[in-house]
């Protein structure tokens, strides 16, 4: 006889497998081209399980994206609560630590949002990102008190340092001698933090 805890564990496993399969499928192809049959076969479960746990393909897509966005939200929120005023290095370090385990996720978002299709999926992305826009990549108070620097331009500079390495086309990276792996991202995070703290000339002209 199956116990209640065992049922809960089994349900959690099925749900997790579906999210994992969805991530593989959605990051490899356009949202509109991915079918629930393809996802369910990869997860090794019946298609009905997608409707049971998520209601639809779009519901599964939203759960999958949310699964990857929530760590960003939690870390950014914790950073705000632990500092009166987080530094640029704090924000940079937290972002890289969150993204390094899933470096293909930003590239997936970039490709999706630049697609002419997948309207439903884009709507989900906007819905999930809007509440954390003030936390990611940095809060407004971090942009205050920068003298003559334009806060919006400062934000764009930081976005460029943080996001471009993860959406840079792999062939372009290879052309410039970069191998986009965990070691590279770790090294780049330290470099960019040092760059922000010391300036490109290390305070010397």
Instruction: Name the 3-class secondary structure at 10.
Output: helix
In 3D, which of 83, 81, 79 has the Cα closest to residue 137? 79
Q: What whole-number distance in Å separates Cα of residue 70 and Cα of residue 92?
A: 17
Q: What is the pLDDT of residues 183-198, one digit of tens each?
A: 999 999 999 988 887 8
**pLDDT, position 173:** 94
Looking at per-residue pLDDT, the higher value among 143 and 12 belongs to 12
Would the pTM count as exceeding 0.85?
no
**pLDDT, position 3:** 56
**pLDDT, position 204:** 53
C-alpha R_g of the chain: 20
Alpha carbon separation from 117 to 34, 64, 103, 120 (Å, rounded): 13, 19, 23, 9
**pLDDT, position 205:** 44
Give the mean model confidence (pLDDT) for residues 138-158.
71
**pLDDT, position 55:** 96
Give the mean model confidence (pLDDT) for residues 126-154.
69
**pLDDT, position 128:** 87
The answer on pLDDT for 45 being more than 90 is yes
Instruction: Name the 3-class secondary structure at 3.
Output: coil
């Amino acid at each position: 006889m199956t116990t209640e805890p065992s049922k809960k564990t089994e349900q959690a496993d099925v749900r997790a497998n579906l999210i994992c399969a969805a991530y593989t499928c959605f990051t490899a192809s356009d949202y509109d081209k991915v079918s629930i049959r393809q996802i369910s076969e990869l997860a090794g479960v019946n298609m009905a399980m997608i409707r049971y746990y998520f209601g639809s393909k779009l519901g599964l897509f939203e759960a999958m994206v949310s699964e990857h966005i929530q760590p960003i939200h939690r870390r950014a929120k914790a950073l705000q609560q632990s500092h009166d005023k987080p530094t640029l290095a704090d924000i940079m370090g937290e972002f890289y630590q969150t993204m390094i385990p899933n470096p293909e996720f930003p590239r997936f978002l970039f490709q999706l949002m630049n697609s002419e299709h997948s309207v439903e999926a884009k709507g989900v992305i906007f819905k999930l990102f809007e509440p954390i826009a003030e936390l990611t990549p940095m809060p407004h108070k971090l942009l205050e008190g920068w003298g003559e620097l334009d806060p919006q331009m400062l934000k764009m500079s930081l976005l460029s340092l943080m996001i471009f390495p993860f959406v840079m086309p792999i062939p372009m990276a290879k052309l410039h001698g970069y191998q986009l792996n965990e070691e590279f991202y770790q090294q780049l995070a330290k470099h960019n933090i040092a760059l922000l703290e010391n300036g490109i000339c290390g305070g010397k002209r």
